[in-house]
Each structure stands twice: as structure tokens, then as C-alpha cells.
Structure 1
């Protein structure tokens, strides 16, 4: 049985929920993320995207769903912080996550390398592992496929210097990726309503990751408060 194909099939045409809370957020806790993932599961989520080995270990206690794992680690001198180095990849692989997502933008990484230099080493080291490329542009997505990533996400569109003014979700980017790339396209970033999600699936995406609007009550509250100020 092709385990990787089975994992991808489990999230095909379905929703993945991102259950994350950073250290400066009130819900930062593996216990809380475990319960959050269980709530997402009960709501119909087909997969979970999670940050840190501790959170992933707790989430596994509550749900039996494919996990897209990341480790957010800030290094001085680099804007790349989503699974930025081999160290974070090693930790996620050893934990046994179903898919590892990492920044696949063209920005210089903490060790001075680019994704074009680093990923071939990772791909060679972990031949059996599924990898998701978190991209911000069409060109980065094309390069990610050439490098051997198994799927491409629009995760970082709007969050890099080159794309900071792009409207989210970026339907134009999604449509271009779906029509020209052969790997699964996973829409992620700025999906705030069910209608937006449906439109993305109508464009032909393989799967979608929705996070803040479901799992970050502080940020949701801020939006409502801002609307009446």
C-alpha cells in the first residue's frame, strides 16, 4: 500500500484545520491545541496542521487524522521561520508527522542557504516523507515542484515583502497554480468565510487549510472590535 497516496487521498477535496497558538497568545498550550484539534475533528475536519513537536504529540492523543507538521522557529538575520532548517525537519520526521510543511520562498534561510540548495539535501535524506511547500508566488511554486515537493501551498502569499499588498485569499494565484502544476495545490492564507472556501474548491484546489478564523479567538475578536471603533 502506498502510504503517502493514502494520506493525500484522506485530505482530497476536504478541509484541513490549522490548530496553532504562538507563545504570546492566550491559547498557547499543547493541551489546548489537543482539544482544539478534537473540536475540529468533530466539526468535520479531515486533517490538522500543527506547530511544534509538543503540540503534535498531544494532538495525536485526541484525533486520528493526517497531520501537516511545522516548527516555527525564529532565527536572527532571516525572515524564514516556518521549518527553516534541517534541524526542524529532522525533529518533525522523527515525530512521524504525515506531511512536513516548510517555507519554500526564495528568501535566504538562517544558515545562508536558499530552498534550492537546502531541499535537495532534505529530499535525499527523507525519500519517503511527504513535503508541502509554503509559497508566496507562482514562480516559487514552480521551483518547489522542480525541487521535488509533493504539494504546494499558497501559505505565504501576502506575508512576504514581495506579496504584502496582495488580496487574500489570492484567487488569481490559485487559479494559475491549479491550471499549470501537476502536484496537489493546497489553498492556505486569509480564508475567512465558507463562501471563499467553496470558491477555492470550485477553482480546482486539492485541499485547503483554514486557521485563524476557526482557531484564534483573540484575532477574531479584534476584527469585530475594529469594525465598531
Structure 2
């Protein structure tokens, strides 16, 4: 069965702990990944070569690999270099995700996709707009993700909930659609599938304990304040 067949109709868990937090260690990321698969995840999204190597040893489901970088001369953070593609493929990624937005970058999106293909992996385009998806499909991306909707200057007004409109627009284009970004409840995951997604990625709500704890702590504090 192909990676896309395995992911279709299922859940991808993004095991990305808070940077430099107490859970930001390859062995803990691997444990998260194994737990996610035990819970029914069809695939995983893993950041970093060391984390990917550790996860690949304990799971057999498809892994979407990424490398995040903070660049001085570009807002692009997700897999910006051709060398990143090579490193992720060698670490065991079945699918490699990259920033597919139309922003200044060190390597062109077409070159990134070509490098992914050369590494015998599938390309996932992390998009923010319909135009991003159209360009990504033309360049050979196998998966269109709504990952960056709300995280670019062009889409800064889309900061609440899942971008159902973009999911539906990508579905109309054809290809494989991954709903990703602010999928924080089971209900939102279901609504993303109803909008036309082929699969859904959930990250923060499952693997960033600090953030989820903060949600509950805030709710408790607000209730206490209202009661007093």
C-alpha cells in the first residue's frame, strides 16, 4: 500500500514538542510517536533529523519529515534548503514537507520539489493560499496542506479555527488534501474532513503539553475570577 493510501481518510499526528522544552528530546518524540500510532494515527509529522531517526526505529507508518530554520533573509522556515531534503530522506522520511508560499527564499519551490523526487520521496506543499496550491500541483507536489493559512502576511486575518474554504478549494483542484493548522478538537478534525480533506494533521492539541495545560489553566482561572 502506498503512503497516500495509508494516510487517506485518516489522522496524522505532528509530534513537535515545544522548542527547548522538557519534552524536546528524540527519545521522548519517539515515545510520543509510538503512542500516537497505538492510538490509531495513520501517519506522523516529525521535525528534525535526530527526531526522525529515533521515530523511524519504532514505527512503520508513513512519516512526513520537515526541518525548521530561522533565516535572517527569508520568512520561510519549513525545509528551505536542498540539503535539508537530502538529510530528511536519508533519515527515513517517506514524505517531505516544504514551505510552498510565494515568498523570498534561498531555494526555489520547483528546485525543492525536484530534490524531493530525486530522493524518492513524496512532496507535501505547506500552503497558505489557493495560488500556492495551484503552483505546487504544477511543480509536482503530491499533497496540498493548509498548514500556513493564517501564518503569512497575506492570510494574517485567518487566525481562528480551520480554514474550511481553503480545504474545499484544494479539494476542487484534485490531488491529496491535508487539513493542517489549528485543528484543536475532534469536532474540528471532523469538520475538516467534511470540507473535503483527505486526511487531517493534529499537533499542538496532542503533543504540546505546555500549550494544552495553558488552555485548561486559563479556563480554570477565568472561572475562579467569575465566581469571586
Shared fold by TM > 0.5?
Answer: yes
Q: What does 1:1-229 align with in structure 2 at a 5 Å threshold? A: 6-109=2-105, 111=106, 113-116=107-110, 118-119=111-112, 121-122=114-115, 125-126=118-119, 128-166=120-158, 167-179=160-172, 181-227=173-219, 228-229=221-222
SS in 2 for 1:102: strand
Deviation at 1:145, TM superposition (A): 0.5
CA gap 1:209/1:76 in 2 versus in 1, 3 angstroms: same
Deviation at 1:48, TM superposition (A): 0.7
Runs of 4+ residues deviating >4 angstroms:
none
Q: Which deviates further from its counterpart, 186-195 or 53-62?
A: 53-62
Partners of 1:18 and 1:132 lie apart in 2 by 14
Count of residues paired in the alignment: 220
Q: Which deviates further from its counterpart, 23-32 or 212-221?
A: 23-32
SS in 2 for 1:94: helix
Segments of structure 2 that go 5 or more residues without pairing to the other structure are 223-228
CA offsets 1:178-207 (integer angstroms, 9 cap, x no match): 12x121000000001111111111222111
Partners of 2:179 and 2:166 lie apart in 1 by 10
Asked whether the 8 Å contact 2:63–2:95 carries over to 1, the reply is yes
SS in 1 for 2:57: helix
Partners of 1:202 and 1:172 lie apart in 2 by 11
Partners of 1:219 and 1:149 lie apart in 2 by 32
CA gap 1:161/1:102 in 2 versus in 1, 3 angstroms: same
Q: Could you say what the CA RMSD is over the residues aligned between the two structures, in angstroms?
A: 1.6
Segments of structure 1 that go 5 or more residues without pairing to the other structure are none
